[in-house]
Amino acid sequence: MKTTKPIAITLGDPAGIGPEIIVKAFRDAPDATRGCFVAGDVATVRAACAALASPGQLAWPVALLDSASEAVDVPPRCVPVLQVVEPPPVIAVGIVSALAGKVAGECVVWAARAALHGDIAAIVTAPLHKESLAAAGFPYPGHTELLQAESAAYLGRPVSKVPVRMMLATDELRTVLVSIHMSLRNAIDAVTFEGVLQTLRITHSALGAALGHAPRIGVAGLNPHAGEGGLFGSEEQHIIAPAIAAARAEGIDAHGPYAPDTVFMRARGKPGRKGEFDVVVAMYHDQGLIPVKYLGVDKGVNVTLGLPLVRTSPDHGTAFDIAGTGRADASSLIEALRVARTLAGVGRDKAAVTSV
């Protein structure tokens, strides 16, 4: 079933490349941005349009919306923006600041609540800066945790009862993480029977709905060589393997645990050849994200699994070092928009289905 509700693109950190890649997406990918709008600040988007204009060329125009619903009728060749925050003073580009974090965080909060109330079809989040977000007083390390908290509040549940997982996906590889933003020491402690089994359940349900079939899940071990039979650690024997067995008893097509240095290669798909697995469940952040990002940040998409709303984002950060230079690549944001359209039912995009 297709929906005519719009998709919101949150502004991201206004000191980063978010506004720039948003403008480039509307300018260069009209198919992906059709029916989308920016939940953010009009002046910031206008400044990005002006900065990207060639000498002697008019800046890409901005259309000011009065409501999100107007986005579906906006003509092409402009950037529709809904002012969802108090207009901030001028924000310095490329610098961590509480003001920039406040703008970025408030845009996400607005979009989350709009999605939860059914006013928009999906959220695509431009990158925010975690230091700026923290400086603004938001008690969340990133988008995922903020959206989880908003969802829990809307559902009237404790945050622990709205479990979410991060999936990073390219055309070649997908990976889902048992833990997300925490220290490596704490991430090791987070590898529990319950945590691994819950990750497998969420992956099976969410990815199965996107693919149209039960995903074949490869599970990475925690230790080198997946513990080598207990020589390098016992987590595989006492935690991960029992969780996989429990998942298989529920009908989940999970396999492993496999050596972390080879399972991603086994899952990697190439033109004309599918990988051995549809997705790899990784035990912690860098274990899962390094392989995906190595294959190409420009095409990577972050999908939050387990939320009662659709949220995707590009697979990169705020890139303060190149913000304001016009060099930022919008490819990952464009892919995130296409995946969001597919997951939300706003048409079916064949390329996006492959990326999910």
- Could you name the CATH architecture of 1-162+307-356? 3-Layer(aba) Sandwich (3.40)
pLDDT in tens, the chain (356 residues): 455 899 999 999 999 999 999 999 999 999 999 999 999 999 999 999 999 998 888 889 999 999 999 999 998 899 999 999 999 999 999 999 999 999 999 999 999 999 999 999 999 999 999 999 999 999 998 899 999 999 999 999 999 999 999 999 888 999 999 998 889 999 999 999 999 999 999 999 988 888 889 999 999 999 999 888 888 889 999 999 999 999 999 999 999 999 999 999 999 988 878 899 999 999 999 999 999 988 876 778 999 999 999 999 998 899 999 999 999 999 999 999 999 998 887 544 433 444 45
| Amino acid code (one letter) for 303 | V
Closest CA to 25 of 330, 312, 316: 330
Which residues lie below 8 Å from residue 156, measured CB to CB, with a gap of 6+?
Answer: none
SS3 call for 26: helix
Ramachandran assignment for 266, one of left (phi > 0), alpha (psi -120 to 50 degrees), beta (any other): alpha
User: Within 10 A of 315 (CB to CB), how many other CB atoms are there?
Assistant: 24
Q: How far is CA 336 from CA 21, 245, 324, in A?
A: 12, 33, 22
What's the CA gap between 308 and 217, in Å, rounded? 23
Quote the pLDDT of residue 348.
42
Question: Given the DSSP bridges, would you call strands 279-282 and 122-125 parallel, antiparallel or unpaired?
Answer: unpaired
Quote the pLDDT of residue 46.
96
Cα 233 from chain centroid (whole Å): 32
Which residues lie below 8 Å from residue 223, measured CB to CB, with a gap of 6+?
Answer: 232, 233, 235, 236
Whether domain 164-306 has CATH 3.40.718.10: the reply is: yes
User: Within 10 A of 148 (CB to CB), how many other CB atoms are there?
Assistant: 21
Domain with CATH 3.40.718.10 in the chain: 1-162+307-356, 164-306
- Cis preceding-peptide flag for 30 (omega within 30 of 0): no
Q: Which long-range contacts (CB under 8 A, 24 or more apart) does 118-121 make?
A: 118/5, 119/5, 119/68, 119/69, 120/5, 120/6, 120/7, 120/8, 120/68, 121/3, 121/5, 121/6, 121/7, 121/310, 121/340, 121/344, 121/345, 121/346
Judged on CB neighbours under 10 Å (0-12, 13-18, 19+), 30 is: exposed
DSSP 175: E
* End-to-end CA separation in angstroms for the chain: 18
71 touches 65 (CB < 8 A): yes
Closest CA to 129 of 121, 138, 117: 138
Quote the pLDDT of residue 346.
57
Q: Find the DSSP H helices in the chain.
A: 18-28, 30-33, 42-52, 98-116, 130-135, 143-155, 184-189, 193-211, 235, 241-249, 260-267, 285-296, 331-344, 350-355
Query: Rounded to the nearest 5°, which phi and psi values hold at 270?
Result: -135, 165
Residues in the chain: 356
* pTM confidence score: 0.86
Secondary structure element (H or E) that encloses residue 176, with its range: strand 174-177
Q: How far is CA 65 from CA 88, 102, 111, in A?
A: 18, 22, 15
Ramachandran assignment for 156, one of left (phi > 0), alpha (psi -120 to 50 degrees), beta (any other): left
